């Protein structure tokens, strides 16, 4: 069954607002700016509330990454039966969201910080980015393409392999180049559409290919 995925349901709207402020502090001031006092002041809440909601600083970082990853959407409606058009639309939404999140100041700041800490003993940010960020996005997207296969719209033997092909078509080397200082895409929607068209040509069933050809 498909379920709605948008802003993270793990947190309340108030907690989401606090996490947004914490992410902005990180972008503007770096790791040193990310203190409980600073977050409490920026979000107009008490330090006690921060500890109650997120625990220690690692817990706050984990929540920030989970919240950021939740901005990449996959499914939209409960109980939806996928067809060619809706699968295409869901994949394009995923691709566009992924590109926009990866190109955003927040994700670039988090990844640069993790890279800078990679040789530091006890640094947990890189692991958190993988476990609470990338792998959560991967899991939801694999769920989408699995649903497409069950609906007779996609064909593959290995979901991980198909998903990594999808990710590569969407992102290519763009994220690495942005981390090195290049500007992002001017039109993420166009790149998303191109990537999904290529993915469906590679993994779409005859039904999907026939319907796509009929719309050209």
Nearest CA to 170 out of 98, 111, 103, 108 is that of: 98
- State the pLDDT at residue 176: 85
Q: Which of 35-44, 52-61, 117-126, 186-195 has the lowest mean pLDDT?
A: 117-126
In whole angstroms, give the CA distance from residue 137 to residue 157: 21
Residue 128, number of CB atoms within 10 A of its CB: 20
Of 55-69, 145-159, 164-178, 181-195, the range with the highest mean pLDDT is 145-159
- State the pLDDT at residue 31: 75
Q: What is the largest CA-CA distance in the chain?
A: 59
**Token representation of residue 210:** 């026939």
- State the pLDDT at residue 26: 85
pTM, 2 dp = 0.85
Give all domains of the chain, ordered by start, each with its CATH number. 13-70 (1.10.10.60), 75-214 (1.10.357.10)
First to last CA, the chain: 31
Over residues 16-32, the mean pLDDT reads 88
Instruction: Indicate if the pLDDT at residue 120 is higher than 90.
Output: no
Instruction: Indicate if the pLDDT at residue 6 is higher than 60.
Output: no
Give me the helices (H) in the chain, please: 13-29, 36-43, 47-54, 57-69, 84-103, 105-116, 125-128, 135-150, 159-171, 174-179, 188-203, 206-215
- State the pLDDT at residue 132: 87
In whole angstroms, give the CA distance from residue 48 to residue 199: 48
Residue 20, number of CB atoms within 10 A of its CB: 17
Of 94-98, 102-106, 130-134, 172-176, the range with the highest mean pLDDT is 94-98
Q: What is the DSSP letter of 7?
A: S
Q: Are 164 and 186 in contact (CB under 8 A)?
A: no
Of 35-44, 107-116, 151-160, the range with the highest mean pLDDT is 151-160
Q: What is the DSSP letter of 72?
A: S
Instruction: Indicate if the pLDDT at residue 118 is higher than 80.
Output: no
Instruction: Indicate if the pLDDT at residue 14 is higher than 60.
Output: yes
Percent of the chain residues topping a pLDDT of 70: 89
In whole angstroms, give the CA distance from residue 187 to residue 158: 31
Q: Are 76 and 52 in contact (CB under 8 A)?
A: no
Over residues 74-92, the mean pLDDT reads 82
Phi, psi of 172 (to 5 degrees): 50, -135
Instruction: Indicate if the pLDDT at residue 79 is higher than 50.
Output: yes
Nearest CA to 180 out of 112, 131, 81, 110 is that of: 112
| Four-residue CA torsion sign, 33, 36, 37, 42 | positive
């Amino acid at each position: 069954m498909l379920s709605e995925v948008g802003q993270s349901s793990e947190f309340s709207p108030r907690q989401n607002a606090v996490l947004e402020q914490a992410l902005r502090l990180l972008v503007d001031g770096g790791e040193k700016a990310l203190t409980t006092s600073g977050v409490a002041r920026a979000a107009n809440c008490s330090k006690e509330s921060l500890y109650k909601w997120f625990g220690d600083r690692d817990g706050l970082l984990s929540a920030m990454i989970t919240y950021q990853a939740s901005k990449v959407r996959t499914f939209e409606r409960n109980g939806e039966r996928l067809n060619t058009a809706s699968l295409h639309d869901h994949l394009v939404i995923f691709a566009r969201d992924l590109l926009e999140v990866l190109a955003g100041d927040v994700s670039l700041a988090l990844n640069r910080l993790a890279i800078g800490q990679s040789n530091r003993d006890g640094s947990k940010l890189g692991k958190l980015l993988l476990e609470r960020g990338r792998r959560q996005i991967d899991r939801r997207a694999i769920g989408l393409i699995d649903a497409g296969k069950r609906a007779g719209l996609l064909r593959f033997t290995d979901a991980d392999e198909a998903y990594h092909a999808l990710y590569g078509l969407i992102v290519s080397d763009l994220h690495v180049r942005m981390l090195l200082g290049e500007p992002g895409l001017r039109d993420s929607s166009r790149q998303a559409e191109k990537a999904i068209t290529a993915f469906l040509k590679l993994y779409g069933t005859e039904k999907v290919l026939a319907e796509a050809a009929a719309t050209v």
